[in-house]
Amino acid sequence: MFDLKEIKGVIFDYGGTIDSNGTHWAEVLWDAYVSAEVPVTKEQFREAYVYTERFLAVNPVVEPHHNFNDLLKIKAGLQLQYLVENKMLTDVDKTESYSLAISNQCYTFAKDIIEKEKPILEQLRKRYPMVLVSNFYGNVQAVIEDFGLLKFFDEIIESAVVGVRKPDPAIFGLGVKALGLPARNIVVLGDSHSKDIVPATKNGCQTVWLKGKGWGDDEDGATADVIITDFMQLKDVFQLD
């Protein structure tokens, strides 16, 4: 049960929450593929997306200084390379232009969303200590610094740095420890029910689920203390001005 009076600290997910307003990044990327007129099916794209995420999880291609635009170019490049190598994409000469168009559209998408959300983050920051918990590639600090978000968080807990990945509840346990508060006095805000809400609940935290356009992998009956469909609804949840 959500109790605003009990809240003394906030844990934010990064990667689908602040940067895409609850929309799964695969969907954002696919929209960019469509806009760039890359001649592949969604299933082919999805296969390339999954391959790239798994590749990046075990290969240190992304460096700590890479911002989000850098990361998008790396991801798009790997996806397109996979599609070419597996003969799903034959326009080899266009891969560079495709990659640039995809990364630019996705970067602008994230930047525009974040700019709209900053007033809410500023108000929350005045009221609570805040920690970021993210499954990321070792460069999340460079990413959020580029977007002007670093000032909002007291600590950043990143899977590639701490060696624990969601949905392991231990990574949220590190967030609770960083805030130095009882778990019941902490609210976790995330876009993934299985990776954010479930492990946060196991730690005893309150939860706000930003339920957006995902990949349809939520369990039936999935719920949270509070469910919103737009980041801006946090104004009402926290009774902000």
pLDDT at 190: 96
Structure-token pair, residue 50: 């999954």
Residues 120 and 227 in one domain: yes
Structure-token pair, residue 190: 């995330």
pLDDT at 241: 84
Residues 16 and 83 in one domain: no
Q: What is the phi/psi pair of residue 62, to 5°?
A: -80, 130
Residues 92 and 136 in one domain: no
What is the number of structural domains in the chain?
Answer: 2
pLDDT at 219: 66
pLDDT at 134: 97
For the chain, the first-to-last Cα distance in angstroms comes to 23
Instruction: Kindly report the pTM of this predicted structure.
Output: 0.93
pLDDT at 222: 86
Residues 121 and 169 in one domain: yes
pLDDT at 158: 97
Residues 207 and 189 in one domain: yes
Answer yes or no: are the C-beta atoms of 22 and 234 closer than 8 Å: no
- Which residues constitute the domain of residue 158? 4-23+113-237
Domain boundary among 73, 88, 109: 109
Domain boundary among 85, 109, 133: 109
Cα 80 to the center of its chain, rounded Å: 22
Give dist(CA 127, CA 108) in Å, integer. Answer: 29
Domain boundary among 63, 85, 109: 109
What are the per-10-residue average pLDDT scores of the chain (241 residues)?
Answer: 95 96 95 98 97 93 97 98 97 95 98 98 98 96 98 97 96 98 98 95 97 68 93 97 84
pLDDT at 214: 66
Give dist(CA 228, CA 109) in Å, integer. Answer: 20
Residues 139 and 49 in one domain: no
Answer yes or no: are the C-beta atoms of 51 and 86 closer than 8 Å: no
pLDDT at 1: 80
Residues 40 and 67 in one domain: yes
Residues 150 and 195 in one domain: yes
For helices 25-35 and 42-58, angle between their N-to-C axes, nearest 10 degrees = 130
Residues 202 and 119 in one domain: yes
Structure-token pair, residue 138: 């070792």
